[in-house]
Structure 1
């Protein structure tokens, strides 16, 4: 819900505030679901020096990020859960596959830095091992290319360069499992609502069919009665 509110505020600011002169900013709400008072609260917040400085700082920070996340409002783990279910099925994706899925825009595809990173990762995996060592795994390749990134940590995988006997950070794994469980519960709740709606529709259609059947019976009875009356009238003539 909070994410939806942020998205709505972002779209409103982009459409009705950014680039608009202060004396030209509308004073009435552009939405029927938002009061004029609520709209002016947003306008006043956007107009404060503190908010403007925050926006500038955020823009600078985003500009320094080489690999922009392309999962929309979903977290990495939630996005991966959906992708695994819909695209990969029983075949688990590699760390490189997951990197691609999380950094590919539906509109523009991969950004140049992402393309370069993917090429390097795949080259590392394809490179034959030396001195009896095996070739790098996809996870090791991602860890090497993203040495200063927390991507593997965020998706629950652990770099081979980190000393770990269980292959993962227990705390992070627990967090991811909890988030997955939350996503699962939300999906179940939505499914239950859809099933209830479907049942209501089916019951309504069944009731409608019964009503139509009753109407047809009544119409047939009325037609038979009319035919009988016409016959009686003809006999009396």
Structure 2
């Protein structure tokens, strides 16, 4: 069909208007999508930025996290310490009590004349550890069946556990050293260990034995070593 000049002008005008309309729409879409994309990019950067004010970098949250971690460590350490202390006590309690078959008891003079004190030594001669408890039960004379009284201040704070070959000591007071005391000569005496019923015969030190006043005799507890002050009696 042959179009007139007037129709061709109308079609050209309509085409131009349509092209302008499409251009305007594309411009609006680009303008709208650009800020959205920028906002999206900005949001991603904020979430991933380690210096942003959120999550693990928040000062309050960070302190809480550290405190919680420290608390857990402290609790674990306390539990471990408690477990260690308990294990040590249980180990001491589980060690068998020393008997007359486990130790050899001997006596030696302490200090110079007049000899008012002796030292008892109990040496572990067995092949295993054993535990000495309390004070030695000592009877010096057949005429006095009472045990020599123990001195409370010499009691050790912890159980005395003897490994094979290890010694323990007990200081024993014989008399006050006075010439008017009612002292009797003793060449041998008996010792019984706490928790054992066997009587150990101990030879008194010196060729002439020792002089004992039963009214003033005292004994210390078994200790790993003689201690100045605690054993002064």
Same fold, TM-score > 0.5, yes or no = no
Higher relative contact order (CA 8 A, sep 6+): 2
The normalised TM-score by structure 2 is 0.22
> Higher helix proportion, which one?
1
Which structure has the greater CA radius of gyration? 2
User: Is the strand fraction higher in 1 or 2?
Assistant: 2
TM-score (norm 1): 0.22
